[in-house]
Structure 1
Amino acid sequence: MDLETIRKFTFQRILSEDPKNKFLAILGEIQDQPAVIIAEKTAFDNPTVSELFQPNLTPDVTLTERNDVYHSYTATIAQDIAKPGIKATLIWPATQTHIRKYSKQARRMIRETPELYQQITLPYITSQLGPRIQWVYNILNHTAETDRIVYEDTDPNTGFILLPDLKWDRVTLSSFYLMALVNRRDLHSLHDLNTTHLPLLKNIRSSALREIPLQWPTVSPDQLRLYIHYQPSYYHFHVHVTHLEYEGGDGMAVGRAWLLDDVIAQLEEMAEGRGFEGRTITYVLGEESGLWKEGFSNVKG
């Protein structure tokens, strides 16, 4: 995709924004097809922080508040393409699922029993497979993003591909974010895991903790957080790997994130062949999600 594509974007409305994390999701169109842009402020470039308030480099500084030893200012800092101020991700053509995901929305606490999983969640998951996750298969088949692969284990049962998530600018280590996509295509979410998958989960954990410090020596294993989302954003099983300093918002909150170590420990306590399929799982679900609109919104009580 070239630069001309994003330059054809026409604004429609803001889907959501997060002032704390400097995040903005925008809905628009490109060539009459829906498009979503996720814009984030980039982190400060540490080597040049000492230059920020040099008079010749920061000409526009305004004092906005002063109280005893506290002084507040606003400033305009010169930027160029080598030190960009914004990182943007374009989703085009965007589906209703993408638009719902990035829309501001109220949330509900869902208590998903095994019966509700079979009646509501499983049919929804089935509807989200195939073409909707073709981009994952493109990575696994090496037809896309091959230059971004950090580590690969080709074993069909316990292997995976580790690569940077689009949320990471691949520069700022405090926002370090990788994704482990498993080779298996029969695992869609946490709910599918049982004791037979322990070798896979342990391989992801040990390999990530070994390989990442080899490629990023300033990141130690005890600075990494490995976790699983339920419900996930897409239904091909994957594990998130982030730096402890990364601020993940709702993605790291109770009701969404499960630490990989805790999942492994729970499975180790279960009888052979048992897993999460018989468990009641409680989680947070946005009212704009398809799973809510098409399923749980109709559940009474």
Structure 2
Amino acid sequence: MTESNANAEALVPRFKFERLLNQDQAGRRSSLCGTIDGQPALLILERAPFPSSTDYLGSVPASLRTIKNLGANDIYHWYLANSGGAVDDNNNNHDFADLKINLIWPCTEKHIRKYSKQGVRFVTETPEIYRDHVRPYMQAQREAGRLNWAFNIIEGVKEAEDVIYRTPYGEDPDEGFLLLPDLNWDRQTLDALHLLGLVERRDLWSLRDLRKKHVPWLRHMQAKFLDATTRVYPGVERDQLKLYVHYQPTYYHFHIHIVHVALEAGATQATGKALGLEAIMAQLETMQGDDEAGMDGVTLCYTLGEASDLWADVFAPLKPTSTASGSQ
């Protein structure tokens, strides 16, 4: 190590913390203000990516210092864990959770494909493609019985203690809904707040089933979700929340995501995946036709992973065959 490198690396341990300036990236980056040798200093801490070493990654599950279960439903489990990497001046481990862990067990080949690195395509789904190809695909997925975990929540069999708000179950199945933390949220970092609104009725598979007649109900749900979130989490105000719907959704039972506006928009909030609830309601309200006019009559564009069944079974076969340049 050169002398200049050694001098540079000696600076960080001399940092004297004074105050926290900011936390962003859902708490993964912290900006600290302090001093080094009496002069003002700014230190930015950011969690580094996991190394790709198979030896390291293979050792992580068995080496965790603490594991706290946040919930379990059907094949889905989620935890907070401490890797045991942070120590204080007395060589004592800190007990904060530095890992959020999701476990799917037993998983299917479809889960494995979903979480594997893959190419991405941008597809155009016309009303005709939806009717003739995508709707039958959705029906096959529902009939395969992959919604047990959602029905467990709706019926109060699982995660009842986590529900933030719900209408009386079964009182009005066409209007009922509930709100609870999304399994991807650590339930602590407010800037990363992520809640899930599930409807009771089972005839709405996706936003494609929404019609003009549903707008008053959607607005009622929106208001209740905002009221409940700001009541349970007083540090969050209504204009710090956004509501959106995925298309294509991960599962075919209509649900709404409620997130903090500071939550960085990764792939799940990007254009081609998330549609704002307010925009959906506005589009429904301005549609021509009677109350039965709906989202099944519009063209939607979105991204798909090349490993997904929807790409392989529906859109790849529909893709036009390119003709050779200059062919007659």
Q: What's the TM-score bracket when you normalise by the shorter of the two chains? A: 0.7 to 0.9
Match of 2:146, SS state, is helix
Greater relative contact order (Cα 8 A, min sep 6): structure 1 or 2?
1
Question: Is the 2:80–2:186 Cα contact (8 Å) retained in structure 1?
Answer: no
Match of 1:109, SS state, is strand
Q: Partners of 1:158 and 1:186 in 2: how far apart?
A: 12
TM-score, normalised on structure 1? 0.74
Q: 1:116 aligns with which of 106, 115, 129?
A: 129
Match of 2:147, SS state, is helix
Deviation at 1:24, TM superposition (A): 10
TM-score, normalised on structure 2? 0.69
Q: Partners of 2:206 and 2:50 in 1: how far apart?
A: 27
Deviation at 1:206, TM superposition (A): 0.4
Name the counterpart of 2:164: 150
Does residue 137 (structure 1) correspond to residue 151 (structure 2)? The answer is yes
Q: 2:199 aligns with which of 178, 182, 186?
A: 182
Does residue 127 (structure 1) correspond to residue 136 (structure 2)? The answer is no
Q: Partners of 1:266 and 1:298 in 2: how far apart?
A: 31
Q: How does 1:115-264 map to 2 (within 5 A)?
A: 115-130=128-143, 131-154=145-168, 155-264=172-281
| Structure 1 counterpart of 2:314, one-letter code | G
Match of 1:128, SS state, is helix
Name the counterpart of 2:43: none
Number of positions where the alignment pairs a residue of Structure 1 with one of Structure 2:
247
Q: Partners of 1:296 and 1:24 in 2: how far apart?
A: 35
Question: Is the 2:206–2:247 Cα contact (8 Å) retained in structure 1?
Answer: yes
Identity of aligned residues (%): 41
* Displaced runs of 4 or more, over 6 A: 23-28, 35-42
Superimposed CA distance per residue, residues 105-154 of structure 1 (whole angstroms, 9 cap, x where no aligned partner): 11111111111112221121011114101111111111111111010023
Rate the CA distance shift 1:79–1:276 in 2: closer, same or farther, 3 A. farther
Deviation at 1:99, TM superposition (A): 1.4
The gaps in structure 2 that reach 5 residues or longer are: 1-45, 59-74, 321-328
Q: Partners of 1:144 and 1:243 in 2: how far apart?
A: 25
Q: How does 1:93-104 map to 2 (within 5 A)?
A: 93-104=106-117
Q: Partners of 1:144 and 1:202 in 2: how far apart?
A: 27
Match of 1:166, SS state, is coil
Superimposed CA distance per residue, residues 21-60 of structure 1 (whole angstroms, 9 cap, x where no aligned partner): 96899999xxxxxx99989999xxxxxxxxx997x26x7x
Match of 2:242, SS state, is strand
Q: Partners of 2:303 and 2:277 in 1: how far apart?
A: 19
Question: Is the 1:162–1:181 Cα contact (8 Å) retained in structure 2?
Answer: yes
Name the counterpart of 1:66: none
Rate the CA distance shift 1:40–1:157 in 2: closer, same or farther, 3 A. same
Question: Is the 1:138–1:144 Cα contact (8 Å) retained in structure 2?
Answer: yes
Rate the CA distance shift 1:185–1:124 in 2: closer, same or farther, 3 A. same
| Structure 1 counterpart of 2:153, one-letter code | I
| Structure 1 counterpart of 2:182, one-letter code | D
Does residue 292 (structure 1) correspond to residue 311 (structure 2)? The answer is yes
